[in-house]
Amino acid sequence: MINISNALDNLVDEFSKLPQIGRKTAMRLAMHITRQPRQDVERFSRALTEIKDRLRFCSVCCNITEDEVCNICRAVSRKPGIICVVEEPQDVFAIEKTNEFKGKYHVLHGIISPLDGIGPNDIRIKELLDRLGRNDENKVEELILALNPTVEGETTILYLSKLLKPLEIKITRIARGIPVGSDLEFADEVTLAKALEGRILI
Amino acid sequence: MINISNALDNLVDEFSKLPQIGRKTAMRLAMHITRQPRQDVERFSRALTEIKDRLRFCSVCCNITEDEVCNICRAVSRKPGIICVVEEPQDVFAIEKTNEFKGKYHVLHGIISPLDGIGPNDIRIKELLDRLGRNDENKVEELILALNPTVEGETTILYLSKLLKPLEIKITRIARGIPVGSDLEFADEVTLAKALEGRILI
């Protein structure tokens, strides 16, 4: 293969490091960049470094933010007594989109996964404990574990529920069941069993 | 939707401007970036601007290159008498991968498309004419039109063949037919007709 340009090869390499971007897509994206006006490319380039310059972790909930304490943690309109524990910042966006949750969050930045060598100390569990242990006016009444219903998610839920038992906080987990718009017949048996188990009175 | 960070929103915007990257994918990519070490993100950022600093168009074939004249145009091992005309730089990569073509290229950077307002003067046809008209030792004997067999491709082929007729250069086009590994039964009738028409002696 003839070498057209090292700069182009570098950019293709960088694009193909992104998740789910293969060499062919990376090449298409890089070619798209070559056709863009210089100022647009520079804006993209700046947006990348600014992420590193500006983003930090909220000192309360560990979500990403540009401030010492994030917007959600500072919002007086949100109930401080309910904390929803999620794996990643994306999950906060997903739950916010429902417009159904008015409490606060805690972002673990990972999930316990012994096979990947990720233990309880590798994720933000200590920060959660510190937060729950604080005896201020914002006593936590309920902890919603909104973790993915995977083996790792279950492990983390089990670990957290044992760990937090002495604190006597109500701990809940989000329902496992049939996705809305889906079909019973295509649900796997574990999901269907959990949907039955989690049935609610109408 | 709560505003987490303007820097994050900006990066999501930039990613979603890329072709075939929607908001959800853009968000996933941006979140991936937030988790990368600073030096990796800076390398990506630099790779973007370097494309604009370093890439230019080859003064002979109009392909992208870092030099005044590209590697392929400078290569003495390649026959100067055969020029393969393609739409985009990606097509050069695609043909190079076959290892079957040992001539030179000409990149049009577009295709004649009246519906999109792209006429002959908007693509690099003038540069091709200049090149063919040059009376140097590298007389062009054959021009292979390797354009996509779409309406626009056909229009461009028709335009070029009429325009270049007075030059008395052999003009060919790449075969339309059944893709290797594919099935006759799934071919559309136009492709099949072209495959029949383009049959070769075995």
Backbone angles phi, psi at A82, to 5 degrees: -120, 125
Q: How many residues does chain A have?
A: 202
A70 and B2 Cβ atoms separated by less than 8 Å:
no
Q: Residue B155 has what pLDDT?
A: 94
B58 pLDDT band, cuts 50/70/90, is very high
B142 touches A: beta carbon within 8 Å? no
A157 touches B: beta carbon within 8 Å? no
Q: Which chain A residues contact residue B107 at CB under 8 A?
A: none
Backbone angles phi, psi at B23, to 5 degrees: -60, -40
**Mean pLDDT value of segment A15-33:** 94
Domain ranges of chain B: 6-54, 77-201
Q: Residue B120 has what pLDDT?
A: 94
Picking from B3, B14, B65, the nearest residue to A5 by CB comes out as B65
**Mean pLDDT value of segment A137-152:** 88
B124 and B107 Cβ atoms separated by less than 8 Å:
yes
Give the minimum alpha-carbon distance from A77 to chain B in angstroms, rounded to a whole number: 12
pLDDT tens, B4-49? Answer: 889 999 999 999 999 999 999 999 999 999 999 999 999 999 999 9
CATH class of segment(s) B77-201: alpha beta
pLDDT > 90: percent of chain B:
69
Average pLDDT value for chain B: 91
Q: Residue A1 has what pLDDT?
A: 57
pLDDT tens, A76-120? Answer: 999 989 999 999 998 998 899 888 999 999 999 999 999 999 999
CATH node for A6-54: 1.10.8.420
Q: Residue B136 has what pLDDT?
A: 66
Q: Would the pLDDT of A196 be above 90? A: no
* Strand positions, DSSP E, chain B: 56-57, 64-65, 82-86, 104-107, 142-145, 170-173
Q: Residue A33 has what pLDDT?
A: 95
Q: Please give the C-alpha separations between residue B150 and each of A1, B166, B189, in angstroms, as whole numbers.
A: 27, 26, 15
- In one letter, which amino acid is B112? I
**pTM more than 0.80:** no
Pick the residue from chain B with its C-alpha nearest to A52: B38
Q: Residue B178 has what pLDDT?
A: 87
Give the minimum alpha-carbon distance from B202 to chain A in angstroms, rounded to a whole number: 30
pLDDT tens, A158-184? Answer: 999 999 998 889 999 999 898 888 888
**Mean pLDDT value of segment A17-41:** 94
Q: Residue B137 has what pLDDT?
A: 60
Q: Would the pLDDT of B60 be above 70? A: yes
Q: Would the pLDDT of B59 be above 60? A: yes
pLDDT tens, B117-149? Answer: 999 999 999 999 999 887 666 688 999 999 999
Q: Please give the C-alpha separations between residue A1 and each of A54, A180, B96, B97, in angstroms, as whole numbers.
A: 40, 49, 6, 6
Cβ distance A64 to B96 less than 8 Å, yes or no, reads: no
Asked whether the CA dihedral B11, B13, B17, B20 is positive or negative, the reply is positive
B1 touches A: beta carbon within 8 Å? yes
Q: Which chain B residues contact residue A51 at CB under 8 A?
A: 7-8, 11, 30, 33-34, 41
A202 pLDDT band, cuts 50/70/90, is confident
Cβ distance A42 to B49 less than 8 Å, yes or no, reads: yes
B64 touches A: beta carbon within 8 Å? yes
ipTM: 0.79
B3 touches A: beta carbon within 8 Å? yes
CB atoms within 10 A of CB B89: 27
pLDDT tens, A36-89? Answer: 999 999 999 999 999 999 999 999 999 999 999 999 999 999 998 999 999 999
Q: Residue A201 has what pLDDT?
A: 78
Q: Would the pLDDT of A192 be above 90? A: no
Check residue B176 and give left, alpha or beta (phi > 0: left; psi -120 to 50: alpha).
beta
Nearest to B65 by CA among A55, A105, A8: A8
The partner residues of A107 in beta bridges, in order of sequence, read A86
Q: Residue B105 has what pLDDT?
A: 95
Residue A172, H or E segment: strand A170-173
Best mutation site among B45, B70, B98 for testing chain A: the one with the most A CBs within 10 Å? B45
The residue ranking higher by pLDDT, B133 or A13, is A13
Pick the residue from chain A with its C-alpha nearest to B35: A52
B2 pLDDT band, cuts 50/70/90, is low
Q: Which chain A residues contact residue B93 at CB under 8 A?
A: 1, 4, 27
Q: Would the pLDDT of B199 be above 90? A: no
